[in-house]
Amino acid sequence: MHRNFEKLQKRSHRHLLLSLIVDIYLSRVLLARLFFCVNPQSFYRVWEMAMNRIDSESGGQSLAWVDERERLLLAPYAMFSADSRGRTHQEPHHAYRGPFQRDRDRILHSSAYRRLSGKMQVFTGEMGDYHRTRLTHTHEVATIARTLGRVLKLNEDLIEALALMHDIGHPPYGHAGEDALDECIADIGGFSHNQFGLTIVQEIEIRFHDFPGLNLTYESLMGQTCRVDKELKGQKPLLEVQLVDAADSTTYDAHDADDAIKLGLVSIEDMKHLELVDECLHFVKRHYSSLNPELLRKALVHRLIERQVTCLLSHCQEELRKYDFKSVEEARSSEFVIGLPAEIAQQKQQLEQYLYEHVYRHPSLIKIREQAQARVKEMYITYCENPSLFPLKYQPRAERVGVRRMAVEYIAGMTDHFFEQTYKNAHS
């Protein structure tokens, strides 16, 4: 009986090993077919480096095979990893991740990124838990941005890093909290969530022993800097940066309408006079019949995204073919900007104006906004009068940047829930 068990065990191990070998073989075959179809000559060089790359501390060949892959898949006007201007503090290349992949991972694993799950987008937790948070918004932006980037043959790794970072500096209570903090220190430079995002990744997050920040690449930092200063030195940002901005507005137009309808602040009937909404509704009703209100809402939101993304891609592909850029520099110095054609852009602007007037300025939201801003300002005064309330690890920074700036930064780093608890403890 014992011998029979050993035979079964050996047979099981052989079967497992055989299955593993087959899986690896099939995976390589599928990848081989994909790359071979794209460019047979370059395929062999990429395949050899990918299968035999050195897993060394310096990543010897790693950047080379990343570059070969990008040369196959990206357009000449894309930002290539090999052309990155590097990091403030130089590091050896990774064995199998490019520089922008590493930026993405550092952002993803940061404390500030995790806190986005507890920060409101437009609607507070008092109104339920269906609506988007700052984190789910960020995920939606990243998904749409990568879709756009793949079709336009831009660098998806850089795009994803930029998308994940773009709202990392938002304070509790969204733009209401931002406006309150900006008022508190208006005389010493004010507060901007875009600027604070840079401060987080360059100074506040601690990842290394020898220096503060995440030590991101120049391109990722400049992408966020362009969000702070739209007219930065008169030079247009990389196409990847422009694309993330386009994905951001596409995302919030659709999901803010979705959340507002779901929460009963507005109805589809209220919005059907808007050209973009009306066009999308006609499309939905032509393709689907007898949808209940919930499915109609979901189908409408899906079409709002699909319509904007499709129009943007069609417009940009046509323009890029016309310009035929041979480099990043050519694209940045041209008149071309990633965006929608004029007619759709006008419809989008009409939708955004409606959302501003009837959703963001809705009486129920205005009341919540005013209450939140009052509490934020009270906490700011509390910290300014009692700087000893800052956690011990922030005391040195308070000495460097000043108590007022530190008070704003500390509040800005809080989630909505943590702020509420802190406020209650401070004013009980």
b/e code 375-385 from CB counts within 10 Å (16+ = b): bbeebbebbbe
- Residue among 248, 260, 235, 240 nearest 170 (CA): 248
9, part of any domain? yes
Give the span between the Cα atoms of 205 and 184, in whole angstroms: 24
410, part of any domain? no
Q: Are the C-beta atoms of 197 and 226 separated by less than 8 Å?
A: no
What's the pLDDT at 50?
47
Are 246 and 132 in a shared domain?
Answer: yes
CB-based contacts of 76: which residues, under 8 Å, 6+ apart? 325, 326, 327
How far, in Å, are 182, 188, 401, 403, 413 from residue 395 at the CA level? Answer: 22, 20, 10, 9, 15
179, part of any domain? yes
Q: Are the C-beta atoms of 171 and 401 separated by less than 8 Å?
A: no
Biggest CA pair distance of the chain = 85
- Regarding predicted confidence, which is higher, 197 or 14? 197
Are 142 and 44 in a shared domain?
Answer: no
Q: Give me the mean pLDDT over the 320-332 stretch.
A: 96
Q: Residue 182: pLDDT above 80? A: yes
CATH code where residue 258 lies: 1.10.3210.10
Q: Residue 318: pLDDT above 50? A: yes
What's the pLDDT at 79?
98
355, part of any domain? yes
Last residue of a domain, one of 329, 351, 367: 367
What's the pLDDT at 285?
93
Last residue of a domain, one of 367, 389, 412: 367
What's the pLDDT at 62?
63
Are 246 and 342 in a shared domain?
Answer: yes
Q: Are the C-beta atoms of 102 and 234 separated by less than 8 Å?
A: no
Are 18 and 144 in a shared domain?
Answer: no
Which run of H or E residues covers position 314? helix 293-323
- Residue among 423, 248, 269, 263 nearest 352 (CA): 248
Last residue of a domain, one of 367, 387, 409: 367
Angle between helices 62-73 and 2-38 (to 10 degrees): 50
The band of 121, judged by pLDDT with boundaries at 50, 70 and 90, is confident
CB-based contacts of 422: which residues, under 8 Å, 6+ apart? 379, 414
Are 167 and 271 in a shared domain?
Answer: yes
Are 188 and 326 in a shared domain?
Answer: yes
Q: Are the C-beta atoms of 253 and 140 separated by less than 8 Å?
A: no
143, part of any domain? yes
Tally of CB atoms within 10 A around 423: 18
Are 9 and 128 in a shared domain?
Answer: no
Are 19 and 126 in a shared domain?
Answer: no
Are 304 and 158 in a shared domain?
Answer: yes
Are 219 and 313 in a shared domain?
Answer: yes
Range of the domain at 16: 2-54+61-72
207, part of any domain? yes
What's the pLDDT at 126?
59
Q: Residue 9: pLDDT above 70? A: no
Are 176 and 310 in a shared domain?
Answer: yes
Angle between helices 99-108 and 218-228 (to 10 degrees): 60
Helices (H) and strands (E) in the chain, counts: 20, 0
243, part of any domain? yes
Summarised one tens digit per residue, pLDDT across range 363-387 is 988 888 899 999 999 999 999 999 9
The band of 328, judged by pLDDT with boundaries at 50, 70 and 90, is very high
Chain mean pLDDT for the chain: 87
Total domains present in the chain: 2
378, part of any domain? no
Summarised one tens digit per residue, pLDDT across range 58-109 is 444 567 889 999 999 999 999 999 999 999 999 999 988 999 999 999 999 9
How far, in Å, are 96, 150, 313 from residue 331 at the CA level? Answer: 29, 17, 16
Are 119 and 48 in a shared domain?
Answer: no
Of 206-215, 223-232, 254-263, the one with minimum mean pLDDT is 223-232
